[in-house]
Structure 1
Amino acid sequence: MSADTLILVLAIDRGAGPDPLTIHRTKAAVPFGGKYRVIDFSLANCLHSGLRQVLVLTQYKSHSLHKHLRDGWSIFNPELREFITPVPPQMRESQEWYAGPVDAIRQNRYLIERNRASQVLVLDGGAVYRMDYAELARAHRESDAQITVAVRATADPGSATQARVTINDEERILGLTEPVMVDRRPDERGTEGDEHLETMGVYLFDKPFLLERLARIERGAISDNDLALDLIAPLTQDHRVCAYRFGQTRGRVTPDRYWSDLASIDDYYQANMALLLAQPPLDLYQPDWTINTYQGQYPPARTVPGAVTGNEGVFVNSMLAAGTVISGGGVNHSILFPRVRVNDGAIVEASILFDGVVVGEGAHLRHCIVEKDIEIPAGERIGFDAKRDRERFTVSREGVVIVSKGATVSEGE
C-alpha cells in the first residue's frame, strides 16, 4: 500500500485562516492543541494509514515548518523507501515560485514521474482531522475512479469554506462550485435533515491521469487558487470523478467525524477550546491513532506556591505542556504550550498561550491568544476593555484578542 501511493502535502502559503498567526509562519506550521502543529494531523493520518512516501511542498516562510519536520518527523526508514521530505520551489523550468496549488504540483512533475507509485494523494496541510486514507484508496479502486475527492456533509451551506459538491446516486461528482458564505442567525441555519457536501482538501488521482492533465496546463493559464475548482471541476463532466464520504463505517477513526480548516481566528480559537470539553469532538487521547509531533526535552509541568503571596498555583480544566510552571497564579479553561510561566497572582482564563509566554505578577488575561515568547507585564489586563484592546491588538469578530509579536506589551521583541 505504501509503495503504491505518493503523497503531496500542500503547505505553500499563509492560507485563508488565522491571519495574525500566519505572519511569521505558514498555516500548516501554526501551533495547535498545546503541543502540535496543524500539519501533524495530516502526517499522522499518513503514518497510521500505512502511507509513508510523503513530499511536503513548502514556500511561504517555511523555516519553522522545515525545522519541525526535521525534528519531529524524521521517523521513516529511507532504506524501505519511506520518507517525509520538504520540497521548496526547485525552479527547474523557470525562476518562478509556486503560483498556486496546481502550479506547485505541476512544477514537481519529475518527482511524480520517477516515483513507482500508481496513484497520488494530494492533501491540504492546513486542516485538522483524522482520516484513514487506506479506506479512501480502497474506495478509489472499487469505483474505478480517475479522481476521488473526500467530501463531508454540513447542515449549513452558508458557512462552507470549501468547494461545494454535487453528486448523483452512484457517488459520482457532477459539479464543484465556489462556497457561498452567508451571515445567519443560529435559528436561520439549515435543518438537521438537510445535507450539503463540501470538499476537505483530500484528493486521490491515478498517477498517469494526473500527469497527462498537468502536461496540458501552462503556467498562468488558470487562476490557481483552489485545487478542486481550478483543476478538478472542469473534469467532472467527461471523466470519472467520484466522492468519498468522510466518516463512513469503514476505517478506524470514524467515531470522530471531525474536520476543521481553521478558516478564521474564531474557528481556530473554538477548535482549540473544544479540546477542553468533557467529550471533545476531536479525541486526542484515542490510543490507536496518536498524533506525532516534536516537543523539546523540557521538565514536567508543575504548580508551585507564589514567592510573595504564598498562594498555591492552580489550574482548572486546562491543558499544560511540558516545562510550564504556574507559580502562585491561576489558569482556567485554557491551553498552555511548553515553557509558559504564570507568575504570582496572575490569572489566565479561556486563553491560548504559545511557547515561552510569561505572564507577569497580577496580570489578567481573558479570551486571548498570545504569540510565543511574549512577556505580559505585571498588572496588565487584556480581554476586558474592548476599545483599548482594539487600539493595541488584533481582535477577532467574536472578541478574541490576539497578542502578536511586536505588540507593545512585549519587552523582549
Structure 2
Amino acid sequence: MLDPNSRYVSRLTRDTMALILAGGRGSRLHELTDWRAKPALHFGGKFRIIDFPLSNCVNSGIRRIGVLTQYKAHSLIRHLVRGWSHFKKELGEYVEILPASQRYSPNWYQGTADAIYQNLDIILDEAPKYVMVLSGDHVYQMDYGSMLAYHVESGADLTVSCIEVPIEEAAGAFGVMTVDNQNRILRFDEKPKNPSELPDQKGMTLASMGNYIFNTEFLFEQLRQDAEDPDSEHDFGKNIIPKIIKNSNVLAYRFRDHDTDQASYWRDVGTLDSFWQANMELVEPSPALNLYNHDWPIWTYQTHLPPAKFVFNDDDRRGYAVDSMVSGGCVISGGKINKSLLFSDVHVHSFTDIEQSVILPEAEIHRSAKIKRAIIDSACKIPEGMVIGHDHEHDAARGFRVTKKGVVLVTREMLGQQRP
C-alpha cells in the first residue's frame, strides 16, 4: 500500500534529480527535424515538446533538473534559456543544460546510458538518493511523485514507467516488457516485431515510456560496468535493462488514470502522422490531453504578442475559425480555418481555405491558397493560389513529403525559400 501522505512524497521528490534526454533527432519526422532536435519541436499551439517533461517535473515537486542536449540543439537551448532559466540555485532548484562535453570520454553521447555516464560527476555533486531519467520527446501529463512512491515502497532497484498499448501499435515501435503478476519485469525487448501479450489484457502489451527511476548507487554501478563493455551500445533499453532484470529487482509502473484506472494519455509523436494526429486531437471538443487544467499547467516560454485577430465579415470574404486553436499574434484576414491548429504569429490572407492542418509559427498563407491535412513548417510563405493536400501526386511532384496516411509536409526548402 502506497503512503498517500503528500509530505512523504514531497520528501522523495526533494531527494530526486531528474535528467531529461533531449539529444535525439527524430529521424522519422524527416525534414521537420532537419533544423531542430525532436524535443524542440513545436506542439499544441504554443509549446515545445520538451515543456511536457519539464512541467511534469516542476508540478511533481522535482526541481533539480538537467537537460542533456546534442543534435542541432540551438533552438532547444535558446528555448530553455528564455523559458526555464528563472530557477534559483540558492533554493536548491535549477534547470541546467548539459551538452556532450567529453568529460569521461573523447566521444559525444553514444547512447542513452552513455549520456548519463558522461555526467556522473554532476550527479555525484548533487548526491540525490534517486535519479529519474526521462525521455524528452513525448507528450503527456504525469505526476512523477506517485511513481517515486511506488519505487520506494516496492524496494525496487529500478522502476520503468510503462503504458498499455495495442500489440499492433507497439510492434517495431516501442520497447516492450514481459511482466509477472507482481509487475516484476521478466524480459525487456527493444522494438520487437511480435510483442508479448499482457496476461491480464488480451491484444495489449506493455510499452516502455522511456522513463526510469534508479537508486543512485545502483545506477552508478550499472553505468560503470556498461562503460567498460566494448560490445555495448550503451543504451538503457538495448543493453542495461535486459542485462540486469535477472538478478535485480526491476519493476514496471503502469501509467494509469487514477479516476478511471485506464491507460493515461501519452503520445510518442515520432512520425509525421503521429505528430499531425496528436495536434489534431487537441481541437476536438473534449480532447484527451487537457491543456486547460490549472492544477497541472504546462509551462513554456512565449513572446508578448497581441491577441489573435479576425477581420472582414462579407459573404465572400469572412475571417473565421471553427473547431480550431488559434494562438496569439495570428491575423485571420478574410480566410476560413476549420479543424486546424495555428501557432503564434501566423498570418492568413483573404479567400484562403485551411482544413485539418497544423500551421507552425510565423507562417504566412497568401490569398486564395487551399490547404488540407498538412503540416506547414515555421516561417513558410505559401504563395497566392497554391493548393496543398488536395492532389497528392501533384504535391509529391513539387517536392512536398506525403505520408502513408496522406498528410503533407511543407518546409521552406521545399518552397525554394532559404533560411536566413
Q: Specify if TM > 0.5.
A: yes
Counterparts of 1:412 and 1:346, CA distance in 2: 25
Residue of structure 2 aligned with 1:350, choices 346, 351, 356: 356
**CA deviation string 1:40-87 (max 9, x = no partner):** 110111011000000000000101001111111123221111001111
Change in CA separation of 1:181 and 1:29 when aligned onto 2, cut-off 3 Å = farther
Counterparts of 2:265 and 2:246, CA distance in 1: 30
| 8 A Cα contact 1:317 1:332, kept in partner | yes
In structure 1, the partner of 2:8 is none
In structure 1, the partner of 2:131 is 120
Counterparts of 2:27 and 2:409, CA distance in 1: 17
**CA deviation string 1:259-306 (max 9, x = no partner):** 111131101111110111112111111121110011111111010118
AA at the equivalent of 2:154:
S
Structure 2 counterpart SS, 1:87: strand
Residue of structure 2 aligned with 1:334, choices 333, 340, 355: 340
In structure 1, the partner of 2:383 is 377
Once the two structures are overlaid, the 10-residue window that deviates more, 12-21 or 366-375, is: 12-21
Counterparts of 1:262 and 1:127, CA distance in 2: 7
| 8 A Cα contact 2:381 2:412, kept in partner | no
In structure 1, the partner of 2:7 is none
**CA deviation string 1:199-226 (max 9, x = no partner):** 1011000000101111112367345374
Counterparts of 2:263 and 2:311, CA distance in 1: 36
In structure 1, the partner of 2:19 is 8
Residue of structure 2 aligned with 1:242, choices 226, 244, 251: 251
**CA deviation string 1:294-327 (max 9, x = no partner):** 1111111010118x99722111111111100000
What is the Cα deviation at residue 178 of structure 1?
Answer: 2.4
Structure 2 counterpart SS, 1:43: helix
Unaligned runs of 5+ in 1: 183-190
Q: Aligned residue pairs: how many? A: 402
Change in CA separation of 1:222 and 1:101 when aligned onto 2, cut-off 3 Å = farther
Counterparts of 1:284 and 1:87, CA distance in 2: 28
In structure 1, the partner of 2:230 is 221
Counterparts of 1:125 and 1:276, CA distance in 2: 24
Once the two structures are overlaid, the 10-residue window that deviates more, 153-162 or 132-141, is: 153-162
Counterparts of 1:112 and 1:155, CA distance in 2: 37
Counterparts of 2:214 and 2:63, CA distance in 1: 17
| 8 A Cα contact 1:360 1:378, kept in partner | yes
| 8 A Cα contact 1:152 1:199, kept in partner | yes
Counterparts of 1:82 and 1:75, CA distance in 2: 9
| 8 A Cα contact 1:256 1:281, kept in partner | no
Counterparts of 1:98 and 1:49, CA distance in 2: 28
**CA deviation string 1:333-382 (max 9, x = no partner):** 10000000000111111111111000001111111101111100111111
Counterparts of 1:334 and 1:248, CA distance in 2: 28
Taking the TM superposition and a 5 Å limit, the aligned residue runs for 1:95-174 are 95-160=106-171, 161-174=173-186
In structure 2, the partner of 1:266 is 273
In structure 2, the partner of 1:197 is 206
**CA deviation string 1:217-263 (max 9, x = no partner):** 2367345374223211110000010111101538xx97881111113
Structure 2 counterpart SS, 1:171: coil
Residue of structure 2 aligned with 1:175, choices 172, 187, 190: 187
AA at the equivalent of 2:174:
Q
What is the Cα deviation at residue 95 of structure 1?
Answer: 3.1
TM score, norm. by length of structure 2: 0.91
1:67 and 2:73 correspond: no
**CA deviation string 1:165-192 (max 9, x = no partner):** 011121111110122358xxxxxxxx97
Counterparts of 2:41 and 2:62, CA distance in 1: 24
Change in CA separation of 1:218 and 1:159 when aligned onto 2, cut-off 3 Å = closer
Once the two structures are overlaid, the 10-residue window that deviates more, 13-22 or 282-291, is: 13-22
Structure 2 counterpart SS, 1:287: coil
Counterparts of 1:348 and 1:212, CA distance in 2: 55
Structure 2 counterpart SS, 1:216: helix
Counterparts of 1:85 and 1:3, CA distance in 2: 17
Counterparts of 1:196 and 1:152, CA distance in 2: 8
Residue of structure 1 aligned with 2:309, choices 293, 302, 307: 302
| 8 A Cα contact 2:226 2:232, kept in partner | no
Once the two structures are overlaid, the 10-residue window that deviates more, 386-395 or 24-33, is: 386-395
Change in CA separation of 1:267 and 1:298 when aligned onto 2, cut-off 3 Å = same
Counterparts of 1:371 and 1:17, CA distance in 2: 16
AA at the equivalent of 2:18:
I
Counterparts of 1:375 and 1:82, CA distance in 2: 42
| 8 A Cα contact 1:266 1:400, kept in partner | yes
TM score, norm. by length of structure 1: 0.92
In structure 2, the partner of 1:188 is none
In structure 1, the partner of 2:6 is none
What is the Cα deviation at residue 412 of structure 1?
Answer: 7.1
Q: Please give the root-mean-square deviation of Cα atoms over the aligned residues, in Å.
A: 2.2
Change in CA separation of 1:109 and 1:222 when aligned onto 2, cut-off 3 Å = farther
